[in-house]
Structure 1
Amino acid sequence: MSDRTKTRLLTTLKTSGPQTAADLAKREKVTAVAARQHLDSLAADGLVEFEDIKGGVGRPKRLWSLSSRGHAQFPDNHSGLIVSLLDGLRDLYGPEGIDQLIAHREAATRNAYTSALEGKEHLRDKLQALAEIRSREGYMASVTETDVEGSYLLIENHCSICAAATACQGFCRSEMELFRSVLGNDVLLTRTEHLLSGGRRCVYRVEQAA
């Protein structure tokens, strides 16, 4: 299996969560045996790990997932430098300095997102444009419909500012306000999964207000 295929395996585990070797083999169009061999190789490199889930009858189902080192293969916007800069800013200017930085970032990002969504009338079109720009920023974003008409999920499989958001939760609050602002006052936005609260990803339920 080429390094490119290994990268696709890691990406699939990042975007779709834990998978069996058979599921991964089907996606990558290789045999299950080959998939297991290369998962073992990735495990030896510390990039993936597994958990055996007991079912009713037969052998336990082995689910593969990314390890913390595997997650670190995806971009994090130079996390060490960012945390260091935030600590320095807090030391120099206190919490107010952090708040001003977050507000400045939010305003600049709002302008960029507003331009990207310009001319989009339907909520799904707005969300698709938002997901595209977020993906370019490293969030691996996508949009799916729910079972409720007019309701969608904005899914972000990666947080490219995870280190900054971990150091300062204000970044997460700011992004919620940012989404509400650019999507419109007639939209309801609820975060149903949160990476920093132990979730595998961040998921936002978005629907038109009654």
Structure 2
Amino acid sequence: MSHNLEDYDSALWLLKKKGPQILANVASELQITTEGARFKLQKLATEGLVTSTTKAKGRGRPQQIWTLTTAGHARFPDTHADLTVKLIQLIRTSLGEQALQTVIDENEKSGTLKYMDLLDGYSDLENKVNKLAKIRNKEGYMAEYQKLENGYLLIENHCPICAAAQTCQGFCQSELNTFQKVLGEGVNIERVDHILAGARRCAYKIFVN
């Protein structure tokens, strides 16, 4: 049975989007009491979706840090994961790596054209990054952007193609190439967080020298 992300518990959303949180932060973000937040998290813990660790903080009482488990992350769907992985493996074994790369390249071309069309008319870099984040958010990446002192940070808190990317990391490079093309010449993009490298999110620093 399929679900929309909105169907999932608000605490799961919070931990997915903002990473590990202390109880007080969960209560504040969800605008509920501390006891209410504790009950919600403990319920999710019994379902194996979240877990907590204790972290010492100076001389005060140790803080309990709540985070998603692997099962918790899995509640956020990976678009057509099984079928996608199977198709990638079939292309690789039946037609070879070059054929798979051709598929990746063609997908990159169509994605780039789509984004360029949607970004048409946006000349300011911040407006482009803001629009790109909105596009990626609609595509299921739980995307947002932050302004830095010397640029911007495009954050993707979820990867709906994670299974495909794990099977063929060429998709990750292709996304980076697409961002570079649609944001224009003279714009530098660095991936500073990567889900496949163990980070909880993918994040890209975008700046102009």
Report matched runs for 1:110-121 at 5 Å.
Answer: 110-121=112-123
Quote the RMSD (CA, aligned, Å).
1.3
Q: Which amino acid aligns with 1:64?
A: W
TM-score normalized by the length of structure 2: 0.94
**Counterpart secondary structure, 2:158:** coil
Deviations 1:130-185 (A, max 9, x none): 1111111111111111123xx00000001110000000110011111110000001
User: Cα–Cα, structure 1 residues 118 and 5, in superposed 2: closer, same or farther, change >3 Å?
Assistant: closer
Q: Distance in 2 between matches of 1:152 and 1:39?
A: 33
Q: Give structure 2 stretches of 5+ with no counterpart.
A: 1-5
Equivalent pairs counted in the alignment come to 204
Residue 46 of structure 1 aligns with which residue?
48
The aligned amino acid for 1:207 is F
Other-structure match for 2:188:
188
SS in 1 for 2:96: helix
3-state DSSP class of the match of 1:138? helix
Structure 1: which 5+ runs fail to align? none
C-alpha displacement at 1:6, in angstroms?
Answer: 6.4
SS in 2 for 1:152: strand
Q: Identify the residue that residue 137 of structure 2 maps to in structure 1.
A: 135
Paired residues of 1:5 and 1:28 also in contact (CA < 8 A): no
Distance 1:112 1:129 in 2: 13
- Structure-2 change in CA distance of 1:11 and 1:47 (3 Å): same
Distance 2:148 2:194 in 1: 18
TM-score, normalised on structure 1?
0.94
**Which position in structure 2 is the counterpart of 1:59?**
61
| Whole-Å separation in 1 of the counterparts to 2:55 and 2:83 | 39
How far apart, in 1, do the equivalents of 2:87 and 2:15 lie?
A: 31
Name the structure 1 match of 2:86.
84
